[in-house]
């Protein structure tokens, strides 16, 4: 069975989104698209001026957004009438489908905010489906823990811990791994999947081949394979995210991701003439 090796090591670039929220962006810039993943942002700061503006109301169509809050609190509100607060450790998995207008605003005026937002593409046959949500409260998240590591399971299965996202078209894996110094994380992945690791802090080695140093806030794209082996050189924390490619053409237009340019133009038209949100 094939060992998974490092394909590319990428330093995220500083960016801002929403009303000036400072973040580090990797997927969506370099690489532009890692099928089925469209974007990955890490947001994190102890300075309220870096996040207080939040993400005022904005539209989406044709994608899924997965927000994972490591630290801090955000309030979500959208055009379906849904409203809720995300606290430390919570996950919101939103399938925007045919269209949703939502806002994500911090409910804190001081302290540390830290989290991630991942965009996942939707296949053409699902892009105009009704919007849907999965909320995962931190205290209900399935967790594997042993003497070497802790694995929080948002999607997929590790040992006996299984995430609530099931029957998904890209068969996603989404783990938050804390690995102790000099210990190993081993996991078997589907050979069809595109997989990446996002190192949050610490230093790790991956696979059997020599590679450049991987340390803190780094995106690591992996070769396809089955056996993933990660070794911790220090106490570390990282995300393991994997999904089956959709293999369709994509067209981007800001918060809209469709298959053709004409569909993007239609989304813009719908948004401006008030027919964007389908009831």
Q: What are the tens digits of pLDDT across the range 41-56?
A: 999 888 888 888 888 8
User: pLDDT per residue over 246-256, tens digit each?
Assistant: 999 999 998 99
- What pLDDT, on the 0 to 100 scale, is given for residue 1? 59
- What pLDDT, on the 0 to 100 scale, is given for residue 276? 84
Residue 39 banded pLDDT, cuts 50, 70, 90: very high
User: pLDDT per residue over 94-118, tens digit each?
Assistant: 999 999 998 888 887 788 889 999 9
Among 8, 3, 42, residue whose Cα is nearest residue 186 = 3
Separation CA 26–CA 39 (nearest Å): 7
User: Is 279 a residue whose pLDDT tops 70?
Assistant: no
Q: What percent of the chain has pLDDT over 70?
A: 99
User: pLDDT per residue over 175-215, tens digit each?
Assistant: 999 999 999 999 999 999 999 999 999 999 999 999 999 99
Average pLDDT over residues 76-100: 89
CB–CB of 197/163 below 8 Å?
no
- What pLDDT, on the 0 to 100 scale, is given for residue 209? 93
Domains of the chain (ranges plus CATH)?
Answer: 6-273 (2.60.120.10)
CB–CB of 98/129 below 8 Å?
yes
Residue 11 banded pLDDT, cuts 50, 70, 90: very high
Average pLDDT over residues 13-32: 90
- What pLDDT, on the 0 to 100 scale, is given for residue 77? 87
DSSP secondary structure letter of residue 48: G
CB–CB of 203/152 below 8 Å?
no
User: Is 262 a residue whose pLDDT tops 70?
Assistant: yes
Q: Token digits for 222?
A: 């992996």
Whether pTM > 0.75 for this model: the answer is: yes
Q: What is the CA radius of gyration of the chain?
A: 18
Q: What percent of the chain has pLDDT over 90?
A: 76
Separation CA 40–CA 195 (nearest Å): 13
Residue 239 banded pLDDT, cuts 50, 70, 90: very high
- The rounded mean pLDDT for the chain is 93
């Amino acid at each position: 069975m094939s060992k998974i090796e490092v394909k590319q090591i990428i330093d995220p670039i500083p960016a801002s989104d929403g009303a000036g929220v400072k973040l580090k962006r990797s997927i969506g810039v370099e690489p532009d698209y890692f099928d089925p993943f469209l974007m990955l942002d890490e947001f994190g700061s102890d300075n309220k001026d870096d996040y207080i503006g939040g993400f005022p109301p904005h539209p989406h169509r044709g994608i899924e957004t997965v927000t994972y809050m490591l630290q801090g609190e955000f309030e979500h509100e959208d055009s379906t009438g849904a409203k809720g607060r995300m606290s430390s450790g919570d996950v919101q998995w939103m399938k925007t489908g045919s269209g949703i207008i939502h806002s994500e605003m911090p409910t804190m005026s001081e302290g540390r905010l830290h989290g991630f937002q991942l965009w996942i593409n939707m296949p053409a046959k699902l892009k105009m489906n009704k919007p849907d949500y999965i909320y995962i409260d931190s205290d209900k998240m399935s967790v594997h823990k042993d003497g070497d590591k802790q694995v929080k399971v948002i999607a997929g299965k590790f040992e006996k811990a299984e995430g609530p996202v099931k029957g998904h078209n890209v068969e996603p894996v989404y783990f938050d791994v804390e690995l102790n110094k000099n210990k190993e994380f081993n996991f078997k992945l589907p050979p069809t999947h595109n997989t990446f690791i996002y190192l949050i802090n610490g230093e790790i080695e991956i696979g059997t081949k020599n590679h450049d140093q991987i340390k803190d806030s780094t995106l690591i794209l992996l070769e396809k394979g089955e056996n993933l082996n990660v070794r911790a050189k220090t106490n570390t924390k990282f995300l393991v995210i994997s999904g089956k490619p959709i293999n369709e053409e994509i067209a981007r237009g800001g918060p809209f991701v469709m298959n053709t340019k004409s569909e993007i133009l239609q989304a813009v038209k719908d948004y401006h003439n008030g027919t964007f949100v389908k009831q």
